[in-house]
Structure formats: C-alpha cells, structure tokens
Structure 1
C-alpha cells in the first residue's frame, strides 16, 4: 500500500505543480505565443499519458499484490491490447506533431515588411551585422574571413559598405519591428537562443539558416548558445537589447560601418 500511495501522490503532485507553477506567467518579449501554446498542448498530452501510466501501475500493484495461494498467469501475447497500444501511441504522437508543423510554417514565413539582421557565431562569441542606410545586407562568404574582415563581407559588393558591424558587443533591436534573422557560423555548430523570445535555430557551417520574430517589449535579454560548441561553450553569452525608437536611433548612430572598419585598417592613399 505504501508503494501505491507514493505512486498516486507522484501523479497528483505533478499535476498540481504544473497548474500552480508561476513560470507559466512569465511575460515574453516576442510574438511567439504560438510556441507557448504548442508546448502547453504537448505537456497536456504527455501529462495525461504520464498520469494514466502511473495510476495504472498503482492499480496493478494493488490489484495483483501477493496473496497466499495466488499464482501468476502467463500470457505471452495479446493482439487486441497491442493494437490498442500502437493506435493510441500513434494518435498521441500525431496530436503533438500537428501543432508543431503549423507553428514551424509561421516560424519561417517572414512578413514582407520585416527588416534584416545577421548573427554570426564563432568560438566563443556572437557577432552581428545590420543593414545600413540602403536597408540591405551585402554579400558575405566565410572564405573571405580575415583578421581585418572578421565576418567575411565581400568588399566588392557596394551593398555591404554601409553594413553595421558589431563584433562581440550587444545587439540592439527596435521595439515592434519584425526582423528576419540570418544565422551563420564561422567554425562549428552553434545555436542562437534567446529564451524570452521563444525562438532558437541551429547555425550550420557552410549554410545560412533563418527565422523571424517581433520584439514586443523593451528590455535586455540574454543570448545563449544552445549547441555544445567546445570548451568555451558555457561562456558563449551575449545580450539583445530592445529599444524604443529614440534609444535605438541613438545607439545606431554610434556604431561602425564596414567601410569605416576597412578604412581604419587600410590607410587611405
């Protein structure tokens, strides 16, 4: 009976912890409430299965507990039960995957009015590139990376000359402005993750991945690398600052463009 009571208390305690936890009411800094809804659906499905299994085990412990004279019955197979288990599992997995597919489509379908930024990961720091006055990012290639051109921007592309370069500093974003985030790695696998934005994506060497989001409140939010990338992985941190229009404009005016960066390393003739 002690085992039965412990199992029932585990099931009830898990449900109570889920319902009473204050973590669910943490305000978010982006538009991805869809992701929270998907996580909640997943928790309800897996939570139902967890409670059902634990309660079933508790029932079995109680129902088939040892009694003098009882003998265990050997049943090698039960096709009806196997079909029920396989069918129920398939329905449960489908119920969890379907909302995820809907959210994924929204996650990679960028609004036409969204701006652009680029996040470049390397062991073990974050670098960023923002479009300049022309509103467009210039071309870049990892093969063009040099000590003087750490992000590999193609110097012959006019669109890249006014790109704003942020190496190892904080990324600032404009409140309420949707942005498409281009993700590039210079060395190994990284993952750009801002927990409050409910958004993350792997950065794969040789490829450019992307996602988009809309900052919905001002503040400073920590950037983490969510992919083990070497001994310095725990220290690969940064910050995203969401500003109002005035603060963002002031910060933007203080940043260095790619053209200014190249002029500082190559003396003018």
Structure 2
C-alpha cells in the first residue's frame, strides 16, 4: 500500500510542480512561437503517458499485492496485449512527431526577402559579418582565414568589398525583418542559441548551416553557445541588439567595412 501511494504522489506531484513551477521560458522575441506550441503539445502528450503509466503501476502494485493463498498467473505472451501496445505506442509517437514536422518545414523554408548575416564561432567568441550597401555578402573560405582576415572573406569577390565585420562585438539587427543566419565554425562544433528568439542550430566545421528568424521585439539579448566546445565554453557569450529600422541604419552606416588594401595577400 505504501509503495502504491508513493507512486500516486510521484504522478500528482510531477504535474503540480510543472503547473506551478517558476522556471519557464524567457519572453519570446521572434516569430517562432510555433516552437513553444510544439514543445507544450509534446509535454502534455508525454506527461499524460507518464501519469497513466505511473498510476497503472500503482494499481498493479496494490491490486496484485501478495496475499496468502493467492498464486500468480503465468502468461509468457499475449498477442492481443502486444497488438494494443504497438497501436497505442505508434499513435502516441505520431502525435508527438507530426506537429514537429510542420514546424520543421517552416524552420527550413527561408523567406525570399530575408537578409543574410554570417555568424562565425571559434574558441571562444562570436564574430559576425553583415552585408554592406550592396545588400549582399561576399564569398568566404576557411582556407583564407588569417590575422588580417579573421572570417576568410574572398578578396576576389566584389560583393565582399563592403562587408561589415564585427569581431567579438555585438550583432545589430533591425526589427520586423527576416534574417537568415549563415553559421560557420573555424575550429570545433559550436551551437548558436538565442533563448528569446527560440532559434538554435549547430555550427559544424567544414559546412555552412543556417537558421532564420524575424525579430519582433527591440532590446538586447544574449547569445549562448549550447554545445560543449572546450574549457572556455561557459564564457562563450555574445549579444544581439534589435533596433528600429532607422536606428539600425544609423548604426550600420557608422561601421567601417573591411579594408582589403591592408589585408595580406591570400594564399593560392
């Protein structure tokens, strides 16, 4: 009886704790409320299964407890039970996966008018590259990285001549404009994560991954690395500053594009 009561308290206590918990998400500041909705749906489906299983265990512990003269029934297999378990499990898994598939399709479908912004991770800082007046990012290559060219921008691509490089500084973005973040790493795996944006993606050496989001609230938001990347991982933080369009343009015009004239010749 005591074990059955403990199991019931575990089920009820878990639900009450999550309903009354003060630890919840930070206020969202992008268009990705879909992700919150998907997580909540998954939580309630998984939570309902958890409660049902624990309560069933409590029932079994009490209902089939030891009693003098009672003999256990031995049934090595039950095709009917296995069939029902397979069907119920399959429906439950499909119910959790289906919303995520719709959100994932939106997550990888970038709007045509999105602005490309490059995010580069390295032990242990964030660097950024924004398009200049031409609105386009120039080509880049990890083999071109040098002290004078920290992001490996190609000198031969005219589109990169006016790119703005922010090394270890703040990433400024305009509010209400879709942003496509091109993610690169120059050493190990990092993960670009802005909790308020609900945007999160790995940076893998040797490839360019991406995420997109639309900032919906002005303010200053912290960038975290959500992948263990070495001893300096906890200190790998950055800042996103979301501004009104006029303020963003004023900030952008005040930035100096990379000076290719002073850059060392690229290796060929």
TM-score scaled by length of structure 2 = 0.93
Q: Which residue of 1 aligns with 2:126?
A: 126
Q: Alpha-carbon deviations, 1:124-180, whole Å to 9, x = none?
A: 111100000000000000011111101000011110010000001111111111111
Q: Alpha-carbon deviations, 1:220-252, whole Å to 9, x = none?
A: 111111112122212111111111223323322
Shift, 1:196, TM fit: 1.1
Q: Which residue of 2 aligns with 1:163?
A: 163
Q: Which runs of 5+ in 2 are unaligned?
A: none
Q: Which residue of 2 aligns with 1:50?
A: 50
Shift, 1:25, TM fit: 7.0
| Superposition CA RMSD, Å | 1.6
* CA distance in structure 1 between the aligned counterparts of 2:6 and 2:240, rounded to whole angstroms: 45
Q: Which residue of 2 aligns with 1:193?
A: 193
Q: Secondary structure at the match of 2:68?
A: coil
Relative distance call for 1:26 and 1:206 in structure 2 (3 A) is closer
Shift, 1:26, TM fit: 4.3
Q: Is residue 233 from structure 1 mapped to residue 227 from structure 2 by the alignment? A: no
Q: Alpha-carbon deviations, 1:165-221, whole Å to 9, x = none?
A: 000111111111111111111111111111111111111111111111000001111
* CA distance in structure 2 between the aligned counterparts of 1:122 and 1:146, rounded to whole angstroms: 13
Q: Which runs of 5+ in 1 are unaligned?
A: none
* CA distance in structure 1 between the aligned counterparts of 2:158 and 2:26, rounded to whole angstroms: 44
8 Å Cα contact 2:26/2:195 also seen in 1: no
Relative distance call for 1:174 and 1:20 in structure 2 (3 A) is same
Q: Secondary structure at the match of 1:258?
A: coil
Q: Secondary structure at the match of 2:128?
A: strand
Deviating more after overlay: 68-77 vs 155-164: 68-77
Q: Alpha-carbon deviations, 1:16-45, whole Å to 9, x = none?
A: 233334555742010001111110110111
* CA distance in structure 1 between the aligned counterparts of 2:84 and 2:228, rounded to whole angstroms: 40
Q: Which residue of 1 aligns with 2:99?
A: 99
TM-score scaled by length of structure 1 = 0.93
Paired residues, number: 264
The answer to which structure has the higher helix fraction is 1
